Chains A and B, each alone.
Chain A
């Protein structure tokens, strides 16, 4: 079956630090990959996505590249802000068998200190 593994937090960084949140996946078909973000008290918001190998998704200074050879989709940001504090979820949806429910990782709680 499909699965997503991401580093567990909390991850605590200082403002303007470089961020990497690792995400690796297993899938039976040709997955599309997503990063969702959940701010305190809110629902899940799409941060970025990539639908095929070597695609790079980007938004709000965050980037992630779909690496088929390493089955990874690591999230990066060059300079984090306090407002980036949230829980980040890596997820995939697979092409096989009509399955269209997202498979999520456990989430990474990011804390940015001023």
Chain B
């Protein structure tokens, strides 16, 4: 069964450093997402991406964040200058079609720790 994959599974970085989190969505899916989950808190939507551009973003997704689909398979989240409060689990998700009610399939997550 196709699945969303994410790398790395864990990343430790110093405050102020740039990090890139990588995701490979399910092949032939059209919509891509990033979410984050700070330890002990709810899963929060960051951004959605369709047709090579951002479709929607939350207030969390400020100028330090960016997303890119550099080739036909990868989908990346870049944090330009990490802060302590960026420490969280980051989930990538993908959705097949254009219906908002369709299922979003999640990857296993990348646990980011900013020191």
Contact = CB atoms under 8 A, between A and B. Distances in A.
A105 B44 CA distance: 9
Contact of A43 (B48, B55, B106): B106
Nearest to B6: A43
A95 interface: yes
B65 interface: no
Interface stretch (B69-77, B79-87, B97-105): B97-105
B35 A105 contact: no
A99 B54 CA distance: 12
Nearest to B106: A44
A32 B56 CA distance: 18
Given A101-B33, A101-B58, A46 B45 contact: no
Nearest to A36: B106
Interface of A: 32, 34, 36, 42-46, 49, 51, 89, 91, 93-95, 98-107
Interface of B: 4, 31, 33, 35, 41-48, 55-56, 58, 91, 93, 95, 100-101, 103-109
11 contacts: A34-B103, A43-B4, A43-B107, A43-B108, A46-B103, A91-B43, A101-B58, A102-B33, A102-B43, A102-B104, A104-B42
